[in-house]
Chain A
Amino acid sequence: MTATLACAGLSKRFGDVLAVQDVGFAIEPGEAYGLLGPNGAGKTTTISMLVGLLKPATGNVLVCGTDLAAEPMAAKAKIGYVPQEIALYPELTGRENLRFFGRLFGLPRRALAARIDEVLDLVGLSDRADGKLGAYSGGMKRRINIGAALLHRPEVLILDEPTVGVDPQSRKAILDGVERLVADGMALLYTSHYMEEVERVCDRVGIIDHGRIVAEGTRHELVAMVGSADTIELMLDGDVDGAFDKLQALEGVIEAVRTGTGSVRLLAEGGRYVLPAIIAAVDGRATVIAVEVIEPDLEATFLHLTGSKLRD
């Protein structure tokens, strides 16, 4: 199957700085791909090359098999790009902004009005469409910003930090909408500072640092790179000492620590699966009154691979 968006060997230099170096990945139809990286890692430069705003020094971009450099018009018609900044006219209404982009992309005149209504419905702003954009909340602007990239039914949607400065309600609307589009078969490239968004939305993640992709895989594959041990926090009532001894001896438990009079922290492989054994082990000595399993996450992997936190 032809990938919806594929790039290979992309490089870009600004003066002495090699901003992007040999970046390549492919996104299939209906797949959500996350690009994670600290500030200045090369995410925006990479995206600018993918949407045709910057010419790569080396490498190529294929959109549904169409070479972006050779046939820019055909390739761009299949991309829906949502920039990080809100690029909309504040003097115009939400609907008028969408009409502008619809004309820009060349939607047939008659189909345009109906398509605008569809998109407004998709981003949940049908009832506010005729208010001036300048009077919208940050979240509503973001939703129109995304809607503007959907009018022409792109094959691949590229979202660059779509939820910056957004209220929780809009964030939920955005993520729900994006997930629906992916479920309908659209390919998605997603960058965000919010790890939990990438974990929720993306099937595969590429971690970019200093202009290179340093790791790529599904969320599980990436997390496994820093070990698969889970942390289990337990609150116990009763004979805590006796229960602690039993827990230390339990199979699968790597380490056990008393963190308070009634609390114990365990490090265990496959935390969820050991839970029944844990409860059985303390049975008769103590009662488990609270338990929390903390699985290693992308944040830990990211920190491990790049040496920096995502939200620096």
Chain B
Amino acid sequence: MRPQGAARLRPRPILALVAANLRRLSRDKVGLFFMVIMPFVNLAFVGMALGGGAVGAAKLPVGVVAPSSDPVAAAVLKELRAHPDLAITSVATKQDLRSGVREGSLAAGVVIPTGSTRLELVMTQVNGSGMAARSAVDVAVGRVAAVLEATRAVEAAGATPAQAAARVREAQAESGRVSVVGSGTSGATPRGFAYTAPGNLLLFTFINSMAVAAALAESRRLGMLQRALTAPVRRRSVLAGEALSRFVVAVAQSLLIMVVSSLVFGVSWGDPLGVAAVVGAFSLVATGAAILVGSLVRAPSQAPAIGPPLGIVLGMLGGCLWPRESAGDFLNSLGHLFPHAWGMDALLALTRPGAGIGTVLPELAVLSGMAAGLLGLSLFLFNRRSC
């Protein structure tokens, strides 16, 4: 009965490794908790803290000190009141405004001086809702500025102020008809879940990829790869099987966060092709980093001690944990040495209307380069140290 089998063997090393590694992961209850539950706990809490919420959630309270007679002030106030995310309160003095912001009863404050277009914004730097309020104020002010600018241009062309105002109103109405869908959100930095969902995707995809590095180190320690190479398989198939196992986990983690955040938190991710490309490239980066850690550690227990803390620090630098506007330029520049910042740039850019894969080509190029470098280095080391 013995000899018959040998001739019909069709080795399936990649399938064997991926299936075994995924099954191993499915037995790791702590690992699964961090993959399946933790991202959404984080998403829910941080999203709410940053002023997100499902439809009908509380608006951001913004205080305004404005002279009632000034036309510019009136225009700005009108725009601010029209903003769907803001609740505008008139405040008597600048001092009251400051104390309101300091105490947290106001997310931000705007002081509109009489006869000047230099508005003063009062906010605390570290507060997420302050950041969100600021972007909303920016949008409103930008609109008024555009109207003023247009009016000045029409007047310069020879019209009277009254004619100019009428022309601009017409133009506004026209553009309002044309771009009525996007007018509420376009140009604004996403806030709430729209910001935290991409942040969590990158954060958890990376951290959980790093956590599976322990399983890789365990495979090395057990001599599984050595043994696999005594089967009629090629070395590169074994390496590919190990790499694909980690990549599948990274992609699954990303998909889970995308699906749940869209269905439960109403997050819209933007152009599917662009998102797929960015998430794919980032998952490759995470795979490379996981294999690198899995190859370098001496004992499997070292991987969870190194990987997740590294993932958290890189996530902080990349703006996955709090809005990058609240970090300084130095931190943001530092962040762009690592993949998370590029991933955030790309995913946020894709949420803007009209953005597609073409919009994020530079970010994609950087992420792909990082992925290629990390995968090359890590597979080289992994091959040398474990096979």
Contact = CB atoms under 8 A, between A and B. Distances in A.
Interface of A: 51-53, 72-74, 76-79, 81, 83, 85-92, 96, 99-101, 103-108, 132, 152-155, 184-186
B230 interface: yes
A56 B24 CA distance: 35
Contacts of A89: 20, 24, 219, 222, 224
B229 A52 contact: yes
Contact of B16 (A78, A83, A100, A186): A100
B9, B222, B229, B231: residue with the most chain A Cβ atoms closer than 10 Å:
B231
Contacts of A72: 232
A160 to B, nearest CB: 11
A51 B222 contact: no
A104 B18 CA distance: 11
B113 to A, nearest CB: 67
Contacts of A83: 223, 226-227
A105 B231 contact: yes
A96 B20 contact: yes
B2 interface: yes
B146 to A, nearest CB: 61
Contact of B20 (A51, A53, A79, A100): A100
Nearest to A86: B222
Contacts of B219: 89
22 contacts: A53-B226, A53-B229, A73-B232, A74-B232, A83-B223, A85-B223, A87-B222, A89-B219, A91-B24, A101-B231, A103-B15, A103-B19, A104-B12, A104-B17, A104-B228, A104-B231, A105-B11, A106-B10, A106-B232, A107-B5, A108-B8, A185-B2
A186 B10 CA distance: 22
A88 B222 contact: yes
A106 B231 CA distance: 9
A77 B232 CA distance: 5
A79 B8 contact: no
Per DSSP, chain B at the interface is helix
A97 B9 CA distance: 18
Nearest to B9: A106
Contacts of B232: 72-74, 76-77, 105-106
Contacts of B231: 76, 101, 104-105
Interface in B103-151: none
Nearest to B7: A77
B20, B222, B233: residue with the most chain A Cβ atoms closer than 10 Å:
B20
A53 B230 contact: yes
Given A76-B231, A103-B15, A106-B11, A155 B226 contact: no
A103 B23 contact: no
B9 A155 contact: no
A303 to B, nearest CB: 32
A12 B379 CA distance: 27
A90 B227 CA distance: 15
A96 B16 contact: no
A107 B12 CA distance: 9
B224 A153 contact: no
B27 A76 contact: no
A74 B8 CA distance: 11
Contact of A52 (B10, B15, B23, B230): B230
B230 A81 contact: yes
A92 B27 CA distance: 8
Contacts of B24: 89, 91-92
Contacts of A87: 222-224, 226-227
A7 to B, nearest CB: 16
B20 A92 contact: yes
B263 interface: no
Nearest to B8: A108
Interface in B1-47: 1-6, 8-13, 15-17, 19-20, 23-24, 27-28
A309 to B, nearest CB: 28
A185 B1 CA distance: 10
Interface string B217-246: 001001110111111111000000000000
Nearest to B24: A91
A108 B10 contact: yes
A79 B227 CA distance: 12
A184 B1 CA distance: 9
Nearest to A52: B230
Given A51-B230, A101-B231, A91 B1 contact: no
A90 to B, nearest CB: 8
Contacts of A154: 6
A104 B226 CA distance: 13
Contacts of B222: 85-90
